[in-house]
Amino acid sequence: MNEVTLRERLIVTIASLLDGARHVAVGASSPIPAAAAMLLRAQKEAANEPAVRLSILGSVKHNLFTNGSAELFDCAGQGRIDAFFLGGGQIDGQGNINLVGTGEYPETKVRWPGSFGSAYLYFTIPKVILFREEHSPRVFVDKVDFISAPGTSEPGVYRKGGPYALLTGMALFMFDPSKARFRLVHMHPGHTLDEIKSATGFAFDVDPQLSVTPPPDTATLALLRGRVLDELRETYPDFAHQLTKEIAAHAE
């Protein structure tokens, strides 16, 4: 097997987290989650298993919505989306995310695009995967400066969604709602537990079976480098080109 790139490992890991979802929605500017959703769909079709529906905002071929995010919100509220992705300028150990900016609101020193519908989707979609390639103390903080979307709610508050996992360029964490706490389960090759602790501004649990993030098998890698990469070019041509170059460089 050719050497696997980090981004390929991230895509395959997300696809494994999505297993069981019937409808996966992906927001704008999210090429790695989009590729993972496409990979899941390709895997299910190859195995003759029930089809997976994709709704990738910004795509023509892989999006049945005709009214953009309005239909996304309607589907989420009706319980017709099983998985979604959120990021954040800041993410803390309770699963809270900040998409507004740093500093005390409203006197934020740095402004980001804004919360949009993140809180609504965090409450209504059962499996929300948090994803940031950058893994540093400036992203993963002890407490976010502003809560765009809360990771947990007080007893009696109705919500059927929330953080399911957190995937970064270093590691994979799973979220325990009962503890409001992340648990480290996989480290990507080349990283250590001490390194991850130093790069994470919040405390987390460590799984007793902590291991290296598994690589894809031959069939999965073939799907990713073939069909999925071809499908990805329609929505994310620049990213597909970059990934192709990365794969070629690793093969040398």
Structural contact between residues 60 and 244, judged by C-beta atoms closer than 8 angstroms: no
Q: Which residue type occupies 162?
A: G
pLDDT in tens, 180-221: 999 999 999 999 999 999 999 999 999 999 999 999 999 999
Cross-strand pairs, 187: 171, 212
pLDDT in tens, 37-76: 999 999 999 999 999 999 998 888 898 887 778 899 999 9
Between 162 and 65, where is the model more confident?
162
The count of other CB atoms within 10 Å of the CB of residue 209 is 7
pLDDT in tens, 71-97: 999 999 999 999 999 999 999 999 999
pTM for this entry = 0.95
Distance CA 76, CA 29 (A): 19
Q: Is the pLDDT score of 244 beyond 80? A: yes
Cross-strand pairs, 205: 183
Q: Is the pLDDT score of 98 beyond 70? A: yes
Residue 66, pLDDT score: 76
Split at pLDDT 50, 70, 90, the class of 250 is: confident
Residue 2, pLDDT score: 60
Residue with tokens 């999006």: 63
Domains and CATH numbers, the chain: 6-251 (3.40.1080.10)
Residue 60, pLDDT score: 86
For the chain, the average pLDDT equals 95
Counting residues of the chain whose pLDDT is more than 70, the rounded percentage is 99
Residue 1, pLDDT score: 45
The count of other CB atoms within 10 Å of the CB of residue 5 is 17
Q: For the residues 143-151, what does the mean pLDDT come to?
A: 97
| Sheet with strand 140-141: strands edge to edge | 97-98, 90-92, 140-141
Residue 245 three-state SS = helix
pLDDT in tens, 218-237: 999 999 999 999 999 999 99
Residue with tokens 């020193």: 109
Residue 237, pLDDT score: 96
Counting residues of the chain whose pLDDT is more than 90, the rounded percentage is 87
Residue 112, pLDDT score: 94
Q: Which residue type occupies 125?
A: I
The helix (run of H) or strand (run of E) holding residue 163 is strand 163-168
